[in-house]
Chain A
């Protein structure tokens, strides 16, 4: 199309070059596909968020309050399934990764643009199938689909499983595309060690998506076969082994945890360097620790299964390997801290989210070590301690980074500035609300309250009440964010090319970027964080 014959008109960009909804739905432009992912993921986030508020509302008091036990189990299932498969896994890679990875490496697009668009359609088909089960007999298996419960339960579990399988295919296509882009489409001078750390993180994530997701696919297909044909592989009544299901499931789902958190780490590396105006400390160590985390994450899945009936030997091996994942994570934390040292730190809203990330991820990290410890995990396994831990990592970590990254790149994506004051208010609400919601859950877990409980003993009441109030604060925070976004889109001031004074490639092109990203083919001569 008009790609190669671009006139350097400063008012023409990827948003207004082509017009009409059809030009979006058939667009091969990675930036537009990123925005399409953004709209869909944010919509699903709304669904998942409403389910979360419902869960907390029911748990405000013991006993049945606003819904029945069965309804609660459905809320819990949809909250988990939507947030994992439709929000956090595609979240940062498919939105921010799609938009910025090609620009970061100086490419005009991802390696396979048609595949990229296909992955969005596949994702939408899977997601809408998942949502459609809401109008059928609702699923109540929990997002983990543990057998034999998931075989026996009525409800549209088969359809949900197939939906997750389809979304997995989309995830594979995205990952495949990013790997090929990083390997093959770097511009002249862009060596692997001049790539921004965000790219390293997305690259590591892509490897995980590619290698882990197929196993989830076959596991879910086997589960569907189990429900339809009664094959008996995972059904103990037919001689199968339900613990094997857990092995297969976590072979994907543990790396998936890193699919969720690695991109967030990448975003935070960008934010900390940009808002400290300082080169990142230990670039190589951070880059390799991303790859290291990705590699080791395949060897640790059994730490979800210490009390599952897995053998003691396997538990010990998995605990040992899990401890090793802690090391690259610690390196990242200390290197970010060292980057702050003698920096020129500005507290604009993206940076607030980055610092908030460090705070929450620290807590998520150390509680992760506690859960990796065999004897302690026996007590904590499947209690609210685990719930609090992974929310600190996935919400406190990933969602904070997503919000920070979103504010950071908003001017680039839309060419408009947002209301900085209100953005800071959203941070205050989300950060405080988050801690009020989830910190009490650590204590509840230590006291022994199991997860996925519709009802609880009176001793747990006051902490549950605090937690529910916190969830309202988070809700308000996100409502304000929504206002900030809409307000910025409608009334925002025109954004300059580089509002933060950052050094990576995307800030060297106009806001918003032109259709082909660069007016002149870029040639890179230095690293991504040359603040001298």
Chain B
């Protein structure tokens, strides 16, 4: 492959099957959007299942939602929205050639992701402590559950927030990678495709959380 990223000059050598660097950029961006569609549909499948069972067992879902602490979810929502802002800001700064500022923005984004995961960790350990495990592992006696299949709610809770958390971790790793490359000076106002792609991925994570928060914590 002839995508050899040059360090010294500000010219990006695009791959041999593209006409120009812009051609490569637009194609890559479309590829990222196509990939995002699969993310929407995969998480969407979970949402559909959630809605259907929420309709069938409203009482059980209400009981489950009650045991979640909205303050944790609320705080995490703000953290994630802020991280989305810093991510967008980072791209803005790279586009303008302010790479030093961009490094700071990206680092802030990773920090926000880390805060989000730490909060998640405390949420999870607290739930485990109470015996609120997913599915058949939920300790009905210890929890004093009114609904025998409360495990289903926590099945949804752990699957949805777990899958989301996994995406946060992957996102953090990807941002760390583009952060490293920004520091190395790989990107400039006309070549920043990986940052753009990672940015869109990070925003998808935010997008999904925007729906997960009311779904899991508020609507019961």
Q: Do chains A and B touch in the complex (CB under 8 A)?
A: yes
What is the 8 Å Cβ interface bit string for chain B, positions 1-39, against chain A (1 contact, 0 not)?
Answer: 110000000000001111000010011101100110111
22 contacts between A and B (CB under 8 A): A4-B2, A109-B16, A113-B15, A176-B35, A177-B31, A180-B31, A185-B17, A185-B18, A210-B34, A210-B38, A214-B45, A215-B41, A217-B45, A218-B42, A225-B134, A229-B134, A229-B136, A232-B149, A233-B156, A238-B149, A241-B52, A516-B16
Among A113, A226, A244, which residue has its beta carbon within 8 angstroms of that of B1? Answer: A113
Among A112, A184, A218, which residue has its beta carbon within 8 angstroms of that of B45? Answer: A218
What is the 8 Å Cβ interface bit string for chain A, positions 100-121, against chain B (1 contact, 0 not)?
Answer: 0010000111111111000000
Cβ A232 vs Cβ B1 within 8 A: no
Among A214, A215, A218, A225, which residue has its beta carbon within 8 angstroms of that of B135? Answer: A225
Residues 476-532 of A contacting B (Cβ, < 8 Å): 516
Cβ B42 vs Cβ A232 within 8 A: no
CA distance A217 to B149 in the complex (A): 25
Residues of A within 8 A of B38 (CB): 172, 176, 210, 213-214
Residues on A facing B (Cβ under 8 Å): 1, 3-4, 28, 102, 107-115, 172, 176-177, 179-180, 183-185, 210-211, 213-215, 217-219, 221-222, 225-226, 229-233, 238-241, 244, 248, 516
Residues of A within 8 A of B49 (CB): 222, 233, 244, 248
B174 at the interface (CB under 8 A from A): no
Max chain A C-beta neighbours (<10 A), residue from B31, B46, B53, B152:
B31
Among A4, A230, A233, which residue has its beta carbon within 8 angstroms of that of B53? Answer: A233
CA distance A309 to B141 in the complex (A): 34
Closest residue on chain B to residue A102 by CB atoms: B17
Cβ B30 vs Cβ A180 within 8 A: yes
Q: Evaluate whether A239 and B37 lie within 8 angstroms (CB atoms) in the complex, with A1-B1, A214-B42, A229-B136 already known.
A: no
Chain A binding surface SS class: helix
Q: Please tell me the number of chain B residues within 8 Å of chain A, measured between CB atoms.
A: 41
How far apart are B140's CB and chain A's nearest CB, in angstroms? Answer: 12
Cβ B57 vs Cβ A238 within 8 A: no
Other A-B pairs, 4, CB within 8 Å; known A180-B31, A218-B45, A248-B45: A218-B43, A230-B151, A231-B135, A240-B152
B177 at the interface (CB under 8 A from A): no
Chain B binding surface SS class: helix
Closest residue on chain A to residue B26 by CB atoms: A184
Cβ A185 vs Cβ B27 within 8 A: yes
Cβ A244 vs Cβ B17 within 8 A: no
Cβ B152 vs Cβ A107 within 8 A: no
Residues of A within 8 A of B1 (CB): 1, 28, 113-114
Among B28, B34, B152, which residue has its beta carbon within 8 angstroms of that of A233? Answer: B152
Q: Evaluate whether A230 and B137 lie within 8 angstroms (CB atoms) in the complex, with A111-B27, A516-B16 already known.
A: yes
CA distance A229 to B43 in the complex (A): 19
How far apart are B164's CB and chain A's nearest CB, in angstroms? Answer: 13
B143 at the interface (CB under 8 A from A): no
B155 at the interface (CB under 8 A from A): yes
How far apart are B165's CB and chain A's nearest CB, in angstroms? Answer: 15
How far apart are A217's CB and chain B's nearest CB, in angstroms? Answer: 5
How far apart are B4's CB and chain A's nearest CB, in angstroms? Answer: 10
Cβ B16 vs Cβ A108 within 8 A: yes
Residues of A within 8 A of B26 (CB): 184
